[in-house]
Structure 1
Amino acid sequence: MASADLRKELECYVCLNIYTDPVTLKCGHNFCRDCIGHVLDTQERSGSYSCPECREEFQDRPALHRNITLQNIVENFLSAQPDREESGVFCNYCLHTPVPAVLSCLMCEASLCVNHLTVHSKSPEHVLCVPTTSLENRKCSVQHSHPPVGGPNIGAVQQTSVLSGVTDILLDVRTAGNDLHISDDMKTVSWSSILQKRPKIPERFKCPQVMSSQRFSSGRHYWEVDVRRAGYWRVGMCYPSIDRKGDQSVIGYNKKSWCLERGWWEFDNKCSVIHDSKEIRLPGGVSSKRVRIELDYEAGRISFYDLCDPIRHLHTFTTTFTEHLHAGVYVGGGVCVLEGCIKICGGNQN
């Protein structure tokens, strides 16, 4: 088995990194001990337990059995990898644990571990070099024909790079419902009782919802939102073919979108994840007022996290994607919520 294929088999489903002290549930799936421990702690509040990967339910909190064989495989795999620690350069796309980089890309201005290198673009424009923190000194002075990710072309749909760290999400005002106000930097969306007088175009939602300019058709990405000033909200991912009017256009209310929702009444802080109108109520709500949405396109996973300390995994949807994806945001208003807003974090701003 190739090194990259083996590494993929050694990744924890929850943290997406190589197993640390792997343990096994009775359904046969493996996780890092700390990762599955946090998941089970979260599930304990709801009184029911299930495997995050296969969703098999357990009547009682499942025992965690150390997988000694898997631990030995992990140790042998890591010991066989080239020692890159001396360079002090780590992969930009390993989101949870620092992983030494094996190469840097001069065009993407990013360093990559062996796992992320395997899905990196094979385009001849992507020039690779030994890991370095001084990419500017190694870059060619010739300007490439395509714009950089997150560039000034805000109005047009943008294709993201194959790999990304904290993705610089920009909201596409062409899709924004007329009861939403979009900030000049395209990062804050607010519900308003004063309707915007935007042109009627097929892309525009009738509901208070907006999509990102960026689209994702490969790679692993994540983006974050600050929801502390929002009342009723939904954040997630959707296909561009999602309806633009009617109840079926709201993210989560169709087969073309996946979302995390916080209900109307802020004081109870009830949250759910929704896909195809099927709702799963989550215990504990969002305690940090900041949410992370992670996408692994090839693995078919959309995950939601509460950015408390420690970070709490809320839910992961698993499917096979058939279109590229956009970030989606819904901000409610009306009698219960007079106003509310969501701010996109990360990227060029925090």
Structure 2
Amino acid sequence: MASADLRKELECYVCLNIYTDPVTLKCGHNFCRGCIGRVLDTQEGSGGYSCPECREEFQDRPALHRNITLRNIVESFLSAQPDQEESGVFSTYCIHTPVPAVISCLMCEASLCDNHLRVHSKSPEHVLCVPTTSLENRKCSVQHSHLQAGGPNIGAVQQTSGVSGVTDILLDVETASNLLHISDDQKTVSWSSSHQKRPETPERFQCSQVMSSQRFSSGRHYWEVDVRRAGYWRVGMCYPSIDRRGGQAYIGNNKKSWSLEGGWGWDNQHSVIHDRKEIRLPSIVSSGKARIDLDYEAGRISFYDLRDPIRHLHTFTTTFTEPLHAGVYVSGGYIKIRGGNQK
């Protein structure tokens, strides 16, 4: 079996990385122990449990059986891989998934794993190369000039034959609380001490929250936020039928939304929340920048810390019953939406 094919067989369905301490459910599917543990935690109190891959249901929380054979295969595979740092290969991750990149595009600077490389390379205008310690050294003068003039960059990679890059999220002023100010480009939301005097409508949140104007009912998308200047904040995804008033309207405080939360003074931990069930994360979003991934058909919402390298925080797994909007809550300071057509 080719190395790339074997790697795919050794990837956890939840985090999309190679298994760490693999365990097996009764249905036969394997996961990292930590990943499936967090998925089962989110299903607590829902009346049952299910496998995130095949959806087989279990009345009681399933036992996790350590897969020693799979663990040994993983260890053998990893020990046979060349050390990227020693070989001088540029260490980076695919723009679509938190999987180490194997190659980079000189035209748009997108770094890609094996799977997404196949799609990206079908574009004749894109020139691919093996990543080096300095990507700048691999660009010709034409490509460098094109990028300096405002050509495509990693944050602007859009739909490529069905694979999504950073999605251009715009905040919907019609849903914004009157406690929030929305910038003219609809990409920055600021908490305001003065009432914004917008008309009170059924669509408008009473709490300091806003949704995106875009809705997603298919495909894979991700968007990014800069929360370094925010007070208390929550970012995530929600259904359009989410309540707009009361404590149940907060993103994460209901069955219709999924959120990552943090803020000033949260020196030790951040959390992810769904249906008022809070899961404490091992550490904070150290970069101050977060990425939210949506895979609609797979029923996954994932959160990442955009440090170097990118770090997976948590994945919620469910079956979506409505389109989804991006959602932002902020109390104090401001949050900036990153990516899209921004530079």
Query: What TM-score does the superposition give when structure 1 sets the normalisation length?
Result: 0.59
RMSD, aligned α-carbons:
5.8
SS at 2:120 equivalent? coil
SS at 1:118 equivalent? helix
- In structure 2, C-alpha distance between the alignment counterparts of 1:305 and 1:52, rounded to whole Å: 22
Report the equivalent of 2:126: 126
Distance 1:328 1:25, change over 3 A: same
Q: Is the 8 A contact 2:177 2:204 kept in 1?
A: yes
Matches within 5 A, 1:285-300: 288=284, 292-297=290-295, 299-300=298-299
Q: Is the 8 A contact 2:106 2:138 kept in 1?
A: no
Report the equivalent of 1:155: none
Matches within 5 A, 1:287-326: 288=284, 292-297=290-295, 299-304=298-303, 313-319=313-319
Q: Is the 8 A contact 1:178 1:197 kept in 2?
A: no
Distance 1:212 1:125, change over 3 A: farther
The residue identity in structure 2 corresponding to 1:110 is A
Shift in Å, 1:330: 3.5
Query: What TM-score does the superposition give when structure 2 sets the normalisation length?
Result: 0.60
Cα-to-partner distance string for 1:121-171 (whole Å, 9 max, x where unaligned) = 63222222232332464243474999636889xxxxx9567465xx59765
Report the equivalent of 1:329: 328
SS at 2:204 equivalent? coil
Structure showing the higher helix proportion among its residues: 2
The residue identity in structure 2 corresponding to 1:343 is I
The residue identity in structure 2 corresponding to 1:302 is I
Report the equivalent of 1:336: none
- In structure 1, C-alpha distance between the alignment counterparts of 2:50 and 2:244, rounded to whole Å: 35
Shift in Å, 1:106: 1.6
Report the equivalent of 2:204: 206
- In structure 1, C-alpha distance between the alignment counterparts of 2:228 and 2:83, rounded to whole Å: 41
Cα-to-partner distance string for 1:79-124 (whole Å, 9 max, x where unaligned) = 887886624223432799773x432212220332313323436322
Q: Percent identity?
A: 45
Report the equivalent of 2:335: 343
Q: Is the 8 A contact 1:178 1:195 kept in 2?
A: no
Number of aligned pairs? 313
SS at 2:152 equivalent? coil
Q: Is the 8 A contact 1:175 1:211 kept in 2?
A: no
- In structure 2, C-alpha distance between the alignment counterparts of 1:340 and 1:21, rounded to whole Å: 40
Q: Is the 8 A contact 1:90 1:113 kept in 2?
A: no
Report the equivalent of 1:148: 152
**Structure 1, unaligned stretches of length 5 or more?**
153-157, 332-338
Shift in Å, 1:260: 1.9
- In structure 1, C-alpha distance between the alignment counterparts of 2:36 and 2:271, rounded to whole Å: 21
Q: Is the 8 A contact 2:237 2:259 kept in 1?
A: no
Report the equivalent of 1:282: 278
- In structure 2, C-alpha distance between the alignment counterparts of 1:40 and 1:219, rounded to whole Å: 20
Matches within 5 A, 1:230-245: 230=231, 234-237=234-237, 242=240
- In structure 2, C-alpha distance between the alignment counterparts of 1:223 and 1:229, rounded to whole Å: 14
